[in-house]
Structure 1
Amino acid sequence: MAFMELPTELMQQIIPYTLPEGFESLALTCKLLYTLCSPFLEHHNNLRFHFRKFEYNKTNKDFREFRYHHDLLRFPDTATSAYILISRIAIEPVVAGYILEADFSLDSHIYDRIPPPLRERALHETWRDRGKAVRQLFANSLYLREAGLDWEEYYNTMMEDVNSWRRSEHAAAFLLTLLPNLEVLTPEFSEFRSPAPQKLITTILEVARRNPHGNASLAQVNAYSGSYDVPWIPSLLALPRIKRFWGHGHMGKYVGNNIDESGYLETDSKSTLEVAGFTESSANLAALTSFLKYAPCLKSLTFWHSTKAHEGHQDWDLCGFISTVQRQVGNHLEHLGVINFELHCSITSENPDLRGFERLKRLELPLDIVLCYLKASDPADSEILDPGSLLSRIVPASVSVLSLLSPGKSPHDKALKLLFRDFANQKKVQTPNLKEISLTCPDDADVSYKAQCENLKAEAKRADVDLTLSEDPWLISTVGLDEDICFPSYS
């Protein structure tokens, strides 16, 4: 019997099973089905608002009406912790299917603001009626079983945190077993320290990698934002559909002044990663090599360096960093952005040469890259060098958009003069595809640096290249990331 020939009463029983994936398509099929779907529309829209792009404490209520933070606990679709979200899924499993994007960074964030006398009443009103369903969810968990974890012990440990109004690592990790449609993940993995949650997360990722076409939790994840410095990052970046990654922290470990390479830097899987970004990060070159080795599809790499990313700071080798990137992904990378938060870097004697980036279209670098060239060259020869040799070394012929970051202080004036000497005549031969240049020229820049900016403005006009001078060095654009990327971008 065709679906449209079924009795109306039977159709009404079937419709809830289409939530969330097929409900809207079913409702738009014809007037009859829309009418039958109408009673479910309000509930569907409410779940979509709260959970499609999920974050803790999200509510459609007016906060001005709240007297206390614990008022958030009164709303059944507003989750303030991993446990409350788990309990919501336990009583209505379809909720998990609505979650496509999830930011779990504010787990239990409001709990320390709830006055102790109000906690017991809130606990009784919002959680007690869900306890049996949650317990059964843990008892039936295939993930806990495959991880070799005793579900009762795991559950009881979680409840100790819940009853003490603490953020629970056990709840946060278990939540990741319930998300078959999740596409964008922003967790606080760096805060996980307990062995059982770590083991469970490893199991979740292994199952997702083994079942790329099934309904395994996290198998649909295509974007991740969070700390890099956690042991399961290679497994996460090897998920079957991962395309984008935005991380922070230190890539690679330091013990004293020595690098301690951990086994997690190696993986037998090739990643489908296309866009990678690091903010307030640092990296040793061995770890960077390992990361890039397993990213054969990488098209865009943005690295915002900061010496604050780890305590065991060593000078950042800018030229060594770029050389490492070029060796590993230079033949297929299309965008490279290397930015230094401190506006200075360790200048080595290595002679930079970026001509190995064969397909690079957008390039963003600190002007310090030219200082590396000056240090590697004989200072006496700097004025008689072929004016096009440096430009072609620093800017590959395929580049169409170039951004240079500078504090506008000496010796960056000399670097700017050397890089763009006789630019109007050299551009057509050395950088034939270059169309746009963005350059920082702060208000407090040296007079000589500002003079070089004005000279470049005239040269760029003669070469038919658009030049943008930015006063604020922090607003230089990070080009090359997708417009719809879920991670923060600056312009």
Structure 2
Amino acid sequence: MVMALMQLPTELLQQIIPHTLPEGFESLALTCKFLYTLCIPFLEYHNNLRFHFQKFEYNKTNKDFREFRYHHDLLRFPDTATSAYSLISRIAIEPVVCRYILEADFSLDSHIYDRIPPTIRENAVFETWRDRGEAVRQLFANSLCLKEAGLDWKEYYRTMMEDVHSWRRSEHAAAFVLTLLPNLEVLTPGFSRFRSPAPQKLITAILQTARRNPRGNASLAQVTAYSGSCDIPWVSSLLALPRIKRFWGHGYIGKAVDDNCNECRYLETNLESTLKVAGFDDTSVDTAAITGFLKHTPCLKSLTYWHSTKANGGHQDWDLCGFIAAVQHEVGSHLEHFCAITLELRCLITSGKPYLRGFERLQSLELPLDIVLCNRRASDPADHGSLDSDSLLGHIVPASVSVLSLLSPGKSPHDKALELLFRDFASQKQFQTPNLKEISLTCPDDADVLYKAQCANLAAEAKRAGVDLTLSEDPCLISTVGLGEDICFPTYS
């Protein structure tokens, strides 16, 4: 193949090289010195597009912001997109741009527009996009996705342009951008609150097309990771994308408790997902919703859930035991890493009897120490056996677990919880948790004296049992397997 290519005239090779951008350009340039020499005139262009678009975000520029006098100075740079429309207009006149985008964070769409004085807006938009209007119009006229969604492209385009001329963030433009990304792998959308019917319909059509053409050139068909709001009607379609592996969400999912909350019915899907890692940050997901989310995730290996009362308005207690039971029922046979915690001191956890023995392959487990208190509150006070039973550790920690993390603010009655869970640990460990090798436990400086005393007792028991115990002042999360490097480590609030 290379020899046949080398036999072509130099003039023809110079015309072929631009068509290798971006996917094959670098490989072609490294083939031999002759082809590298022919590629040199395109190197600066390639590197410039790679910088601005490979890991895309709005307002990204290689200029020094200290030289800017006004925010609208960003509009002067052709490689810097400030809104969905400006990105669309750039792709309209230079289609190769869309193929460079591998990661996209759309959260700052039109973010600077509120800071541009109205007196200069008209001149700014005229100078920036005056030569792109017809190309954008043709892009919409030729859009197969708009046809697939059953939308009138002229009406869709007109509505978008009304937003553009009014300097508003456009739902229509933000959704249309998703039709133009054949190589996108990591998606962080910025339109979780969008509710206009036409963009929602278009997004659904895009995702359906991607599922039908997993090996084709369909937009979003290559997406492997999603990070964004759960509060969108097309989460289920995202989970069914052909290559999706990671999901990191936030927001509220569950039964409607007031007019501002959404029901979980949109999470239902009949398609099995390739999802392997799922995480929820600052989120409230009820039992029914997590069941709907996990029902079709046969490949899931890691689940991280950080509960927040802020996500549901702070008016619901957390049914931790019910949540664990739902997770265990749906993915307990294949889940390997599980974290279900809250770091809010005001969060009330309802009573229940936790049982995690159904997690057959779990290797790492992270829970709040309140899990023991759930059992205590749910037990009949007259039934002392349920409180003092040697099987409590075995009920809460599956036999397969090798790494256990327990989070606690170090206040009463968590000292009692430690005593109940790890009573006679050295002798019970072999029978209840034979694979346990590491325990991580929160022990803040301001912890109660009794709690610190129980930590000291556990340290002695763990040493006799041959288990490594780590006491940390702040929560040290362990069950974030596969979620990437941008994981935050919150503190108790």
Same fold judged by TM-score > 0.5?
yes
How many Å apart are 1:117 and its aligned residue?
Answer: 2.2
AA at the equivalent of 2:476: I
Shift of 1:261: 4.6
Whole-angstrom CA distance in 2 between matches of 1:174 and 1:149: 12
Deviates more, 1:455-464 or 1:183-192: 455-464
RMSD: 2.0
How many positions carry a matched residue from both structures? 488
Contact 1:345–1:368 (Cα < 8 Å) also in 2: no
**Contact kept in structure 2, 1:288 and 1:324, CA below 8 Å:** yes
Counterpart check, 1:139 vs 2:138? no
What's the secondary structure of 2:359's corresponding residue? coil
Residues 102 and 314 from structure 1, CA distance in 2 versus in 1: closer, same or farther, beyond 3 angstroms? Answer: same
Contact kept in structure 2, 1:190 and 1:229, CA below 8 Å: yes
**CA displacement, residues 13-51 of structure 1 (integer Å, 9 cap, x when unaligned):** 000000010111111111111111111111111111111
CA contact (8 A) 1:387 1:422 kept: no
Residue ranges of structure 2 left out of the alignment (5+ in a row): none
Match of 1:66 in 2: 68
Q: Distance in 1 between matches of 2:485 and 2:468?
A: 29
Equivalents in 2 of 1:114, 1:258: separation in Å? 32
Tell me, yes or no, if the aligned pair for 2:403 and 2:437 is still in contact at 8 Å: yes
Counterpart-to-counterpart distance in 2, 1:388 and 1:213 = 54
Cα separation, partners in 2 of 1:157 and 1:388, compared to 1, 3 Å = same
Find the counterpart in structure 2 of residue 113 from structure 1.
115
- Alpha-carbon separation, structure 1, partners of 2:6 and 2:489: 51
2:246 to 244, 257, 269: 244
Q: Is the 8 A contact 1:434 1:465 kept in 2?
A: yes
- Contact kept in structure 1, 2:193 and 2:232, CA below 8 Å: no
User: In structure 1, what is the Cα distance between the partners aligned to 2:344 and 2:130?
Assistant: 51
Amino acid in structure 2 at the alignment position of 1:479: S
Counterpart mapping for 1:81-480 below 5 A: 81-256=83-258, 261=263, 263-311=265-313, 313-343=315-345, 345-379=347-381, 382=384, 388-472=390-474, 475-480=475-480
Find the aligned partners of 1:389 and 1:75 in 2 and give their Cα distance: 66
Q: Which letter does structure 1 place at the counterpart of 2:487? A: P
Return the alpha-carbon distance in structure 2 between the equivalents of residues 214 and 392 of structure 1.
49
Mark the CA change 1:110 to 1:259 in structure 2 (over 3 Å): closer, same or farther. closer
Query: Equivalent pairs: percent with the same residue?
Result: 77
Judge which range, 166-175 or 439-448, deviates more.
Answer: 439-448
Note if contact 1:318-1:345 (Cα within 8 Å) is conserved in structure 2: no
Q: Is the 8 A contact 2:278 2:304 kept in 1?
A: yes
Amino acid at match of 1:477: L
User: Distance between the aligned counterparts of 2:384 and 2:444, measured in 1?
Assistant: 26
CA shift for structure 1 position 459: 1.7
User: Runs of 5+ in structure 1 lacking a partner?
Assistant: none
- Any conservation in 1 of the 2:379–2:386 contact (CA below 8 Å)? no
Deviation at 1:452, TM superposition (A): 0.7
> Is this contact kept in 2: 1:246–1:487, CA < 8 A?
no
| Cα distance between partner residues in 1 of 2:353 and 2:260 | 26
Deviation at 1:253, TM superposition (A): 3.5
1:247-278 deviation per Cα after TM superposition (whole angstroms, max 9, x unaligned): 11112241449998554232111111111111
**Alpha-carbon distance in 2 for matches of 1:258, 1:327:** 29
Q: 2:8 aligns with which of 6, 9, 14?
A: 6
Q: Distance in 1 between matches of 2:191 and 2:269?
A: 19
Q: In structure 2, how many angstroms separate the alpha carbons of the residues matched to 1:112 and 1:166?
A: 9
Contact 1:362-1:401 within 8 A present in 2 as well: yes
Find the counterpart in structure 1 of residue 487 from structure 2: 488
State how far apart, in whole Å, the 1-side matches of 2:382 and 2:360 are: 32
Give the distance between the partners of 1:381 and 1:442, measured in 2 at CA: 33
Q: Is residue 302–residue 482 contact of structure 2 (8 Å, CA) maintained in 1? A: no
Contact 1:470–1:476 (8 Å) recurs in 2: yes
For 1:438 and 1:398, the matched residues in 2 are separated by 17
Residue aligned with 1:416, SS: helix
Provide the secondary structure at the position in 1 that maps to 2:367. strand
Distance in 2, matches of 1:371 and 1:280, equals 23
**In structure 1, the residue corresponding to 2:256 is in which secondary structure?**
strand
- AA of the residue aligned to 2:443: C
Q: Deviation per CA, 1:148-176, whole angstroms, max 9, x where unpaired? A: 11111111111111111111101000000
Deviations 1:177-209 (A, max 9, x none): 000000000002322111111111111011111
TM (normalized to structure 1)? 0.95
Q: 1:459 to 1:308 in 2, by over 3 A?
A: same
Partner in structure 2 of residue 31 of structure 1 = 33
CA gap 1:292/1:414 in 2 versus in 1, 3 angstroms: same
Going from structure 1 to structure 2, the CA distance change for 1:258 and 1:369 (only over 3 Å counts) comes to farther
Q: Secondary structure at the match of 1:439?
A: strand
Going from structure 1 to structure 2, the CA distance change for 1:258 and 1:31 (only over 3 Å counts) comes to closer
TM-score, length basis structure 2: 0.95
Q: CA deviation at 1:462?
A: 2.0
For the residues of structure 2 that align with 1:38 and 1:252, how far apart are their CA atoms?
55
Q: Are 2:300 and 2:334, in contact at CA under 8 Å, matched by a contact in 1?
A: yes
